A and B are shown apart, each in its own frame.
Chain A
């Protein structure tokens, strides 16, 4: 006897197209079927009809949150084909944009996760401080999102020297904000009760599912493209990667918070070390050959492969977004936990469906199935938090 609870076709938390079919026995999840493809736009095919310059703009449209990660991998890929050297100043500017984006993306996720477990204050505060980062990006690139900053061989805009002191002042506001979030999450007994030991992806399964980014680092796998295969300015800077062994939702949250501190460190160093100079190598063409570009997006490694036949268009363009491997691991990480926890676990990999791409719940004991909408699932999750708070006398 099976009860199916469908969650989707929009992720109840992140309002993006996806479909999960949860098989449950009572409250326990016994199996998860994942369906993606609802947002498949054929970007790889489209890339074959765009010039190399346009491809960077095209891949920027893959994801609206980590919109600079795909262009980063794309320019690295094109530079790999041609063996192109990029001016140092451009590398620092690229690094700043990538790290600002990481902070804004992690804050966005942390806020949503807070809302989901009933902590609306965390949500509001996260999004308040995210504005600082978006303002910095707007001043630097002209846009809060989709910056169009990168091009093969350099960046499109220089950073004005007279603005640097303003950037530093704004960046200084982030440190106390991060302390606030760290305290709000790391020291809260209810958050511990809701997230510790929940959705555990152990190291062996993390290896088998080939997960990347904070999902891997929260399962004890210390991989980070910025360290392992350094690009842009990362190898000239002093910073650490955050690795935790537990593999649960708490570890995934903690890794992201710790990473934001490192991002602030990285950006500050970039401003220190940046020297005046050119920001564009002014490349003429991409020679024939194949190239690989990979960059550490907020969700993990973005991987681009391109084949050039020497013409102005890629002969083949392959994109692998981090959520493509991370979402698949939910097939394992959700099993054995309550339905009230499932959506939190599904969201803990910070899935990006635009990059990759819904939840049905099947009750194996009662033979029923039904769809849950966003409000029902959030209410279920928030009710669980309330029960825990009451049990703790809070």
Chain B
């Protein structure tokens, strides 16, 4: 598939859910969506468009929540699509995409322990990097702690 085809398909399927589309340069695209749409968007990109899930990255923002970017790319194409969701404090709950994308299992465990985000329906929600006796409620990459 060419990038044009992929771009068209994303618009056709997701236009109603995309809150903003920002092209930083022709190879780097950032898409903002609502938090509840992440499962559908991840399923569409990974299963239907055969995107590869690269990684997710979280940022603690001063805007009362944590931003999570899910980075995807497509075979033989230079574009990276970063899908952004915003998870509000203090609940910090979002849906897990690990049942859709096996490769997302570790990074969700990592974001959970470093930022305190709860990924609902995660198949194995235990510590990944931090030791098992790490104190509850301490999150190393949070700015409010």
Contacts and interface: CB of A to CB of B under 8 A. Distances in A.
A185 to B, nearest CB: 28
Contact of B80 (A36, A83, A292, A315): A292
A305 B57 contact: yes
A305 B84 CA distance: 13
A314 to B, nearest CB: 11
B141 A209 contact: no
A208 interface: yes
A164 B135 CA distance: 56
Nearest to B30: A290
Contacts of B24: 80, 289-291
Contacts of A80: 24-25, 28
B33 interface: no
Contact of B77 (A210, A222, A228): A228
A interface bracket (residues with beta carbon within 8 Å of B): 35 or more
A223 B69 contact: no
A328 B103 contact: yes
A292 B27 CA distance: 10
A322 B58 CA distance: 18
B13 to A, nearest CB: 21
Main secondary structure of the interface of A (DSSP, over half): mixed
A203 to B, nearest CB: 12
Given A223-B52, A229-B73, A301-B54, A36 B105 contact: no
17 contacts: A37-B127, A80-B25, A209-B102, A210-B53, A210-B54, A221-B75, A223-B52, A228-B76, A228-B78, A292-B71, A292-B80, A303-B54, A318-B57, A324-B55, A325-B103, A328-B105, A357-B129
List of 8 A-B pairs having minimum Cβ-Cβ separation, nearest first: A210-B103, A37-B129, A318-B57, A229-B78, A320-B55, A208-B102, A40-B129, A316-B59
Interface of A: 36-37, 40, 42, 44-45, 80, 83, 207-211, 221-223, 227-230, 289-292, 294, 301, 303, 305, 307, 315-316, 318, 320, 324-325, 328, 357
Given A208-B101, A208-B103, A305-B69, 20 more contacts: A36-B128, A37-B128, A40-B130, A80-B28, A207-B52, A208-B102, A223-B52, A223-B75, A227-B76, A228-B73, A229-B78, A229-B79, A230-B78, A292-B82, A303-B71, A305-B57, A305-B71, A324-B107, A328-B103, A328-B105
